[in-house]
Structures are given as C-alpha cells and as structure tokens.
Amino acid sequence: MEAQETTSKKPQKPRVDMPCQPAKERIRNFNEVAVGYTHEMALEEASRCLQCKKSTCVKGCPVEVPIKDFIAAVANDELAKAYTIIKSTNALPAICGRVCPQEDQCEGVCILKRKGQPVAIGRLERYVADYFLAHEDQTPPLPPIPSKAVKNKVACIGSGPSSLTVAGDLAMNGIAVTVFEALHQPGGVLVYGIPEFRLPKGLVVEREINALKALGVEFVTNFVGGRTITVDELFSQGYKAVFIGVGAGLPIFLGVEGENLIGVFSANEYLTRANLGKAYDFPNYDTPTYPGRKVTVYGGGNVAMDAARTALRLGAESVHIVYRRTKDEIPCRHEELEHAEEEGVILATLNSPLSFHGDADGKLTSVKLQRMRLSDPDASGRKSPVPIPGDIWTMETDLAVIAIGTRPNPVLLQATKSLKLNKRGYIEANENGETSIPNVFSGGDIVTGSATVILAMGAGRTAAKEIIRRFA
C-alpha cells in the first residue's frame, strides 16, 4: 500500500531507453541489436526503483533473484555487490538479461507498471553481468564452496538452460556434476536456436558456461541420451541422481501438400545451420544455409521472428510472417516484433497456408494461402481464426520456414521405458521435478512443452534444491 501511495504522489522519471543499432545497419550484420546501457544509463534507471517493502517483482521471477537488493546496489554504484546478489540465485544473468520475457514476469508485476513504465529489470541485470564479463579480473569472489561430494555425483542429460541451472546450483553446493550434450558444443537452445544478434555466443554464452566449468562442472559433448548413454547406465556408473533437460526439439510441420519440396525447412534446421553452424559466416564456416530471395515464415512466436530476421540478414529481398490471427494475437515478445518490423519484416496476418508448389526440379516457388477472419468470442473470450470461403490467393516464395512449435524428441524417452509420460508425450514430474523413476529429475521444455529460457531455469532450480537436500 505504501508503494502505491508513493507512485501516486511522486512523479516518476521516464524509463531509460535501450540503445540499439539502427535498423538499416543491423540488417547487414549479425552483431547484437541492443547494445546495452552505459554506466550512467544504468545508474539513472536503477534510481527509478521504489524499493517497495513488498517486492512483487521477486514473485514474478522464476529463479527468485533478490531484485530490489541488486537494483539498490546498482543505484549506489556497488556493482560487485549487485553481481554477487544476482549470482546467488541465477547462474546465467547475462543470458537472462537478454532473452527472458521480463515484461510478463518481474517487470510485469512491478508497481511502476501501473504508470506504464516498469523498472527495466532485465536491462539492469544484463548491464551488471556484462560489466563483469568484460572485467573478469574484477569479478567478486564466490562464497566458499563445500568440498566436492564426488561419491554423490549427478549427471545432467542435455546442456540447455535447465541443466545449466541445475549444474551451477549443485556445484555451488559441493556436488560433482557432469553434463552430457548430444551436439558438439554445450548450451542447447542457447547456441543452436537463438540468433547471434539476440544472444552472442562467444561473448556471452561461452563465458557463462566457462564460469560453470570454473566451478568444477564437467561437460561431455557428442553424447546422445538414450543412444550413447542411457539413464540406467549412468546409475551403474555411480551417479546418484540424473536430471533430464533435453528440451523438446522435434519440429512440428503444417501437414499440407508440398512440404517436402526443396526450400521448405523447419525452424530448427534453419536456425541451427545459421547459429550453431555459423552459416552466416560462410565461407569461414563451411555450413552454407539455403539461399532465399522471397522468404515466408509460418508462426508468430519468438522462433518465427528469429527465423525471419535471420533470413533478412542472409540477403533475402523480402520476408513475410504468415500468421492466421491478427497482429494483436501474435505471441512473440513485443520487443522482437517491433525490431522485426523496423528491419522490414512484413506481417501477412489472417492467412493460413493450404499448400506449397514447386517447379519441375522440385524447388519451392509459391504458397497457396487461405484468408481468415476471427470468429466471435467463445465462452473463454477467445476468438478463433476461421476461413473466409473462396478467398484463396498465391504468394511467391522460394524459402519457407515452419515455426509453429516442437514436440518431444523420442530417442531418450523410448530408451527409458519406466519413465512416465503425459498424454502429450512429455515427461511427468512432481512439484520437486522428480519423475516416476526415483532420483531421476526433469525440467524445461521436455516437461512443459515449448516455453521460455527463464521458466526452464526455474524448473532446474526447483530440481536442484531437492537434489541438494538429498545428496549435499
């Protein structure tokens, strides 16, 4: 109540904008779009925090960062203190500061949002983390770590955000951790899914992972869970617990005619080639992507935006996002949509693909689209897209990227027969993240379906707490 009175009596300074590369420049490179706050900007933004007695922002954070405390430290120009506070619950702050949907979480419940401009919590977190990535010699020492309980070692299968969180929390509590990754580089979706212009791999992801290695976390790459190694084999090798954080990486397709034509890709393959394979830096890296002149992307989430903006940077003349609802219903982050439109991505809303068509060589040339309209609201208030009879048209396209979601990859699940799955094929886990197999835990997209980096981290933190209770 006191915080509410403060907001009504005291005029609030406007939120400090994030500096960005100009749109005309950034579409010609893969450098990060948002360039980050200066020191002065960070101090000014931190001074906007009301330091509420009841910190609603913390309740909106899946990894429970003491937000009020770290912002107070920034406002007092005590960056080392701020960093120590953030790292007490968040192993990946430079990543979270960039890709978490703060507007729906911590910032979404900030008291100042009632004025329309919540404190830029994510930007401040990024600033603090980036400062110490750039000044490693000034990084404050971590609290003393207990001696490694090697006899109680834990394995993580998959190296995405949920597993990295588990690994960091366990290592900080003296438990030996080995992370097994199917690909040749750890990081999961952080390295193969999110483009360099949103999340730099060398400057950010690699350094965050190196910080985990410095804690003693071991990473083993080119190990496929369920093939190279199984859950039972890990237990037979002496691991006391196993965390499954393999994500949900099997793409969903549209199921329409012509999806097998040359030039039709899943977003998984397209983005993996561009990101992990560094196709954007060909010929320095010998993984060229498929060239597209007129690109169409199907879906409206962050992955669709990533694919569309990647295509622009790879030289496309035009890029359309084909989405069957209106702009108001697009589920991606508002910031990503704003950036995409600034860069020239065109929204083809209220359209649904009926079929793809190609030439005599089997190469994609066009897509047939059905124009849609939204129905009257149903009982829940949601409007559904319905076809407009006879309103069908053709759009030219030579590269189509399907970004309508993913489902669980069955390799590990089929190899772990006693693992209970839900009706959608995802792993069932209880409130502590434990599965139907004792001491086997799971979290992230393989449990919830496609979600966000920070929600996966929150699930990892929940599982880590229980593993620590049992084995630290």
User: 415 with 398, same domain?
Assistant: no
User: 263 with 389, same domain?
Assistant: yes
User: 281 with 201, same domain?
Assistant: no
The predicted model gives 263-292 an average pLDDT of 91
User: 21 with 48, same domain?
Assistant: yes
User: 262 with 284, same domain?
Assistant: yes
Cβ neighbours around 250 below 10 Å, total: 15
User: 243 with 255, same domain?
Assistant: no
Number of domains, the chain? 3
Per-residue HEC secondary structure of the chain comes to: CHHHHHHHHCCCCCCCCCCECCHHHHCCCCCCCECCCCHHHHHHHHCCCCCCCCCHHHHCCCCCCCHHHHHHHHHCCCHHHHHHHHHCCCCCHHHHHHHCCHHHCCHHHCHHHHHCCCCCHHHHHHHHHHHHHHCHHHCCCCCCCCCCCHHHCEEEECCCHHHHHHHHHHHHCCCCEEEECCCCCCCCHHHHCCCCCCCCHHHHHHHHHHHHHHCCCEEECCCCECCCECHHHHHHCCCCEEEECCCCCEECCCCCECCCCECEEEHHHHHHHHCCCCHHHCCCCCCCCCCCCEEEEECCCHHHHHHHHHHHHCCCCEEEEEECCCHHHCCCCHHHHHHHHHHCCEEEECEEEEEEEECCCCEEEEEEEEEEEECCCCCCCCCCEEEEEEEEEEEECCEEEECCCEECCHHHHHHCCCCCECCCCCECCCCCCECCCCCEEECCHHHHCCCCHHHHHHHHHHHHHHHHHHHC
- Percent of the chain clearing pLDDT 90 (strictly above): 86
309: its two tokens: 């903006």
144 is a domain residue:
no
Domain C-terminal end among 402, 422, 440: 402
- Name the pairing type of β-strands 294-298 and 318-323: parallel
Q: Write the CATH number for 188.
A: 3.50.50.60
**Which range, of 221-230, 345-354, 394-403, averages the lowest pLDDT?**
221-230
Domain C-terminal end among 402, 433, 448: 402
Give the chain's end-to-end CA distance (angstroms, integer). 41
Condensed to tens digits (0 to 9), the pLDDT of residues 99-149 reads 999 999 999 999 999 877 999 999 999 999 999 999 988 999 877 777 666
Q: pTM of this prediction?
A: 0.93
The predicted model gives 416-434 an average pLDDT of 96
Is residue 442 a contact partner of residue 244, using CB atoms and an 8 Å limit?
yes
Condensed to tens digits (0 to 9), the pLDDT of residues 299-347 reads 999 999 999 999 999 999 999 999 999 999 999 999 999 999 999 999 9
Residue 264 predicted with pLDDT over 90: yes
User: 25 with 131, same domain?
Assistant: yes
User: 163 with 101, same domain?
Assistant: no
143 is a domain residue:
no
Q: How many residues does the chain have?
A: 472
The number of C-alpha atoms within 13 Å of 186 and in the hemisphere containing its C-beta is: 29
Q: Over the range 315-326, which residues count as b (16 or more CB within 10 Å of their CB) and which as e?
A: ebebbbbbbbbb
User: 241 with 106, same domain?
Assistant: no
Domain C-terminal end among 138, 166, 181: 138
User: 392 with 332, same domain?
Assistant: yes
75 is a domain residue:
yes
Q: Write the CATH number for 101.
A: 1.10.1060.10
The residue range of the domain holding 286 is 251-402
145 is a domain residue:
no
- Name the pairing type of β-strands 250-251 and 406-407: antiparallel
- Name the pairing type of β-strands 318-323 and 346-349: parallel
What pLDDT is stored for residue 148 in this prediction? 63
User: 13 with 119, same domain?
Assistant: yes
User: 74 with 15, same domain?
Assistant: yes
pLDDT interval class at 25 (50, 70, 90): very high
Condensed to tens digits (0 to 9), the pLDDT of residues 364-393 reads 999 999 999 999 988 888 889 999 999 999
260 is a domain residue:
yes
Condensed to tens digits (0 to 9), the pLDDT of residues 43-63 reads 999 999 999 988 899 999 999
Residues 6+ apart with CB under 8 A from 90: 63, 65, 96, 125, 457
